Amino acid sequence: MNWKRQLTGDYSKSGRRLILLDYDGTLVDFHDNPEEASPDSKLLSLLTTLLQDQKNEVVIISGRNHETLGKWFHSPNMALIAEHGAWLKEVGGDWRTMKNIKNDWKEKLRPILELFAAKIPGSFVEEKFFSLVWHYRASHLASDSVKPGELKDALSDAIDRFGLEIMEGNKVMEIKNVGIDKGRAALKWISRKSWGFILSVGDDRTDEDVFDVLPDSAYSIKVGDGPSYAKHRLASVADVRALLNELAGQGEFVL
């Protein structure tokens, strides 16, 4: 059976459903300026429809900071995971941190990232509560003398000293505490109930941590190319939205 037809069939007959969704590159396309990637009205309407079904629990799992996610998705029925698992917001609850995480290391490492950003036009440093991020989507690294690998080398001693790790995504490099990842956060939902249906969709390296902890019965979908733990693939954000619209009863997913 076509996996897409099987997925929609399993969804329709299941009683408890868990839907784990990455944001950037999965629900919305990438933008040079991350602030321009706010959810559009069609996406908000789609998610609202999914949430209105009492069988569904929908969790947005993002690297975004928790203030931004809370501003964009303020429905009390929406669960949110921010900063790759550093912040959690359960249905009807308030934001809380995953564990006692230190962020005093940022003062030491921020000048290094800012130096690299100054050398590469179009790149910039984003500061989150528990991490620092170097964005270079709008830059032209091929013509520059400074490369991402050089930043990793410059940070290597501090990474070891402070117990940090470098996580590379789609034209971003993020420095965060070891042990904080989307998979660990997702497990809090996965292990909570006996789910009849689990769907996880994501597009980059950070989402692999979620795919890796899913039970065998779950549906995992990688958006785009590249190696992945996911069982299935979709080509684009438009395909992801088409699938979710089908599940929400608002359209027909092309099989």
Task: Give the β-pairing of 124-127 and 131-135.
Answer: antiparallel
Active site residues: 22
Q: pLDDT 10s digit of each residue in the chain, 255 long? A: 599 999 999 999 999 999 999 999 999 998 877 778 899 999 999 999 999 999 999 999 999 999 999 999 989 899 999 999 999 999 999 999 977 788 899 999 999 999 988 888 888 999 998 899 998 877 765 445 556 778 888 888 888 899 899 988 778 889 999 888 999 999 999 999 899 999 999 999 999 999 999 999 999 999 999 999 999 999 999 999 999 999 998 545 444
Query: Residue by residue, what is the 3-state secondary structure of the chain?
Result: CCHHHHHHHHHHHCCCEEEEECCECCCECCCCCHHHCCCCHHHHHHHHHHHHCCCEEEEEECCCCHHHHHHHCCCCCCEEEEHHHCEEECCCCCCEECCCCCCCCHHHHHHHHHHHHHHCCCCEEEECCCEEEEECCCCCHHHCCCCHHHHHHHHHHHHHHHCEEEEECCCEEEEEECCCCHHHHHHHHHCCCCCCEEEEEECCHHHHHHHHHCCCCCEEEEECCCCCCCCEEECCHHHHHHHHHHHCCCCCCCC
Alpha-carbon distance values, 142 to 9, 137, 146, 247 (Å) = 47, 12, 9, 42
pLDDT digits (tens, 9 = 90+) for 64-80: 999 999 999 989 899 99
The pLDDT, as a whole number, for residue 122 is 85
Distance, CA of 194 to chain centre: 24
pTM confidence score: 0.86
